[in-house]
Amino acid sequence: MHQTKVKVAEDALDANTTIANANRHDFDHAGVAVVNLMSAPGAGKTTLLERALEARGDVRIGVLEGDVQGSFDADRLSALHVPVVQVNTGNGFGGECHLDANMVRSGLGDLDLHELDLLIVENVGNLVCPAEFRIGEDAKAMICSVTEGEDKPLKYPLMFRSCELVVINKTDLLPHLDFDVERLIANIDRINPEAEVMQLSARTGEGTERFNEWLFAIAERRPRDAAAVEA
């Protein structure tokens, strides 16, 4: 028995990337754009999506809902008459705290991607693991709410760096809190100076038009060849 060194030189997340690329291929083929929406638990992902779905107009939207357990969020969004698929991550090792490319793939069979312009993936509430796993999305966005603390970008830089949009939610609560929005924005700028930042209240609806515009514009990122197939 002797020791042999085997050169590997492989990113540990390559297996996930391979499946993410397969998802991407399917999304391109169907002409659907995909947004990966992430946040800590309770930041307001589902409420913000409810506002967006109410305003969707002609944009054909589907939702893939990731939760460790239950279908509470999926039930809320189904009430708005859009196709919603629930992916529960509780079957994994100890209950998965994120959606990875393969879990997303497992839910795609229940959606008719060709009937969608935009698929929104509502990830499991968590500011750490979801940032690691590409799912084949066009854009990653995150919500942080003003009840969470101004230092969150410094504590979770991986998440804040992975997103092109940071939504600051629950601004209707600001009069009741000692929260320094400018300090939060300065911290986001330190960690991800390229991120677009918008403030809104999903509860009152104030500022949500801007988010909806951003979201529906993602649908325009659908590949041209798919658009040509449709025409």
Task: Tell which residue, 10, 18, 16, has the closest CA to residue 100.
Answer: 16
Least distance to another protein from the beta carbon of 43, Å? Answer: 17
Task: Give me the residues that bind another protein (CB under 8 A), please.
Answer: 1-16, 18-19, 89, 92-94, 96-98, 100, 102, 126, 128-129, 131-133, 154, 156-158, 161, 187, 189-194
Name which of 3 and 57 has its Cβ closer to another protein: 3
| Interatomic CA distance for residues 221 and 226, integer angstroms | 11
Name which of 11 and 230 has its Cβ closer to another protein: 11
Tokens (6 digits) for 102: 């393969």
Least distance to another protein from the beta carbon of 131, Å? Answer: 8
Q: Is the distance from CB of 50 to CB of 76 less than 8 angstroms?
A: yes
Name which of 50 and 150 has its Cβ closer to another protein: 150
Q: Is the distance from CB of 192 to CB of 156 less than 8 angstroms?
A: no
Least distance to another protein from the beta carbon of 20, Å? Answer: 12
Least distance to another protein from the beta carbon of 44, Å? Answer: 22
| Interatomic CA distance for residues 65 and 37, integer angstroms | 10
Name which of 89 and 145 has its Cβ closer to another protein: 89
| Interatomic CA distance for residues 87 and 103, integer angstroms | 7
